[in-house]
Structure 1
């Protein structure tokens, strides 16, 4: 049986992934390093450290860890990382190096991180906060100066924000923050209610079983540990269902339409992040588990309906968070932010 499982895992990796999704390439590099002994049993793996090795953000590393955990190659360590190997070895806090993943250059060559990624996360958070208070103008030159980057890097970050509907260009081609009022939240919510269930049904045949199993296990651990969860863990579970799972949908046009609607996930993440007080009743974990349980049973229609219901009842919560934020905070206006308008 063990040989059959090993053969199955090897078959999962038989198809080359040099140009495939980044999380699969990271998964393969880690698996090869473990198999070759360059990552010894007991080695402690943390998202941030591995992301640094691969010049990556944390999201693809988190996805790679989920697949390796499902395959039994690594196991969770006190919620703060993973340990190499399925046994009970004590954690070994080794300094990870690129040499552990091949010839010393292989890991860094896996992906050259775009320069805009260095400023993107903080900038996204700032722009989401500003959007609550109306329309703002963003000076690209001043943004680059404030962040200590070139103008092209600042423009690339703003272009990324434009793709998800956080900023846009006005009639004079100046960058502006798109106001986040209740009407816009309802409009984006309607897109998610209509399209995410369709995307889930189309994505189901392409979802790796081990990926779904790892996501389900993560939800079960979180439910048992609630409310002792970090914002990163909460965001990771949202990413699992609404981005990673739906990302397997083969209909590119649906995914493009959902990209802007996912702004609502960013709102929840960044607004909750200002004052991280967990509600008495967990906000979404059990609802996600209903979706994954239906997928596990092969009842795709039930899973899609559970997802639709989950999104439908989330809107009042988001509107409430945004309203409270608007009433209790004032915009932190940087030098590159112009006058507030409505």
Structure 2
């Protein structure tokens, strides 16, 4: 996944959707890769990158990342310069092997291969369109017109809207009609208050369960991003946000706490869809260093300091988001799609 709304549940319960196997998706990916390595279908030194592996499993990157970390802990793969993993141990250089389903022992019927739901094909662009439109007030969403505009069946359109509903981007009114929820400053502050109150608590509970190898890989990505900024893609920045605010917190054993946080995490999606898309990349982005400070506190088991650092990071982010949304409202008015109708205040 990239770090879009559909990834929100993947950190801790990421995928008992496929086939008959109800185990988490990252465990099934780990098992398929482990079997391929043991059988020799993946040769020693083969380079495994999150993106290509995720493509084969019709998955996002989050469960692939978790699977590779588990394989590293088991000694079946080793990290390669922070940019992937090499099969096996030793000092041999990377072999850039083109991965195929046959190499992993996958087929269309294999339970390890998750077929992507139809809604995924339209979700990312629809979420971006909805976020931009929400800045300009409440809109009624016509499910039939949405399906027609995207060239999909009505059920696919409904499934996509249901995912948006889980994030609080759309809701149903008293007559059960889809409505786009307006994104105004009052709502941003309300969502932000939830994050400030709950994310530090979730981190304190999650900290003992975050695998050290996975945490180290996240820190490495932050170090590389800090050195490369601003030469970073929006996707790379979103992945960094996902690492801390979704994947790490996903190890929190209090599932009710994570459910309470889910809608508030919509604020992460707001920044993703504005920066680099409808808004210029900022000359300086302190969130990378702020994330690093959280991980460095975790590295020395100072969980209280990590939680307080996270709380401060969230607090100082609100004015930036409000400013970016205000600039978007002033400078960019998207065309209203055929499936949306403005609702008078």
Q: CA deviation at 1:203?
A: 1.1
Counterpart-to-counterpart distance in 2, 1:241 and 1:101: 30
Deviations 1:68-121 (A, max 9, x none): 567682545796x66545645254252x22111225457564423322122111
- TM-fit CA distance, 1:328: 1.0
CA distance in 1, matches of 2:22, 2:278: 40
Which residue of structure 2 aligns with residue 335 of structure 1?
338
SS at match of 1:112: coil
Cα-to-partner distance string for 1:278-310 (whole Å, 9 max, x where unaligned): 323233111111111111111111111000000
Q: In the alignment, which residue of structure 2 is the partner of 1:29?
A: 32
CA change 1:65–1:147 in 2 (3 A) is farther
- Equivalent-residue separation in structure 2 for 1:69 and 1:127 (angstroms): 39
1:199 partnered with 2:208? no
**Following the alignment from structure 1 to structure 2, what is the Cα–Cα distance between the partners of residues 222 and 155?**
37
TM-score (normalizing by structure 2): 0.85
What secondary structure is seen at the aligned counterpart in 2 of 1:313?
A: helix
Instruction: String of CA shifts for 1:53-73, please: whole Å, max 9, x gaps.
Output: 112233323444455567682
Inter-partner Cα distance in structure 1 for 2:153 and 2:109: 28
Partner of 1:101, secondary structure, is coil
Aligned to 1:308: 311
Pair 1:230 & 2:233 matched: yes
Flag the 1:275–1:337 CA change in 2: closer, same or farther, 3 A: closer
Classify the secondary structure of the residue corresponding to 1:338: strand
- The 1:141/1:153 distance shift into structure 2, 3 A limit, reads same
Partners of 1:98 and 1:210 in 2: CA distance:
27
Aligned partners of 2:78 and 2:87 also within 8 Å: yes
Moved more, 175-184 or 211-220: 211-220
CA distance in 1, matches of 2:34, 2:228: 29
Unaligned runs of 5+ in 1: 1-17
Seen in structure 2, the aligned counterparts of structure 1 residues 21 and 53 have a Cα distance that, compared at 3 Å, is same
Q: Shift in Å at residue 275 of structure 1?
A: 4.4
The answer for the alignment partner of 1:13 in structure 2 is none
Whole-angstrom distance in 1 between the partners of 2:286 and 2:340: 34
Structure 1 vs Structure 2 CA RMSD:
2.4
Q: Cα deviations across residues 170-197 of structure 1 (Å, max 9, x unaligned)?
A: 1211111100000000000000000000
1:170 and 2:176 matched: no
Question: Aligned to 2:124, which of 114, 121, 124?
Answer: 121
Aligned-partner Cα distance in 1 for 2:279–2:342: 29
The answer on 1:52 being equivalent to 2:55 is yes
Moved more, 267-276 or 199-208: 267-276
Paired residue secondary structure (1:137): strand
Partner of 1:215: 218
Q: Distance in 1 between matches of 2:25 and 2:226?
A: 29
1:1-342 pair list within 5 angstroms: 19-65=22-68, 73-76=77-80, 84=87, 87=91, 89-94=93-98, 96-102=99-105, 104-105=107-108, 109-275=112-278, 277-339=280-342, 341-342=344-345
Q: Structure 1-normalised TM-score?
A: 0.86
- The alignment of Structure 1 onto Structure 2 pairs a total of residues equal to 323
The residue number in structure 2 matching 1:7 is: none
Query: Offset of 1:211 from its aligned partner?
Result: 1.4
> Which sections of structure 2, spanning at least 5 residues, go unmatched?
1-20
DSSP 3-state at the match of 1:98: coil
| Structure with the higher helix share, 1 or 2 | 1
Structure 1: how far apart are the matches of 2:209 and 2:139? Answer: 41
Deviations 1:143-167 (A, max 9, x none): 1122222211111110110011000
Q: 1:335 to 1:103 in 2, by over 3 A?
A: closer
Measure, in 2, the Cα distance between the counterparts of 1:296 and 1:204.
10
TM-superposed CA distance for 1:31, in Å, is 3.5
Q: Which moved further from structure 2: 206-215 or 298-307?
A: 206-215
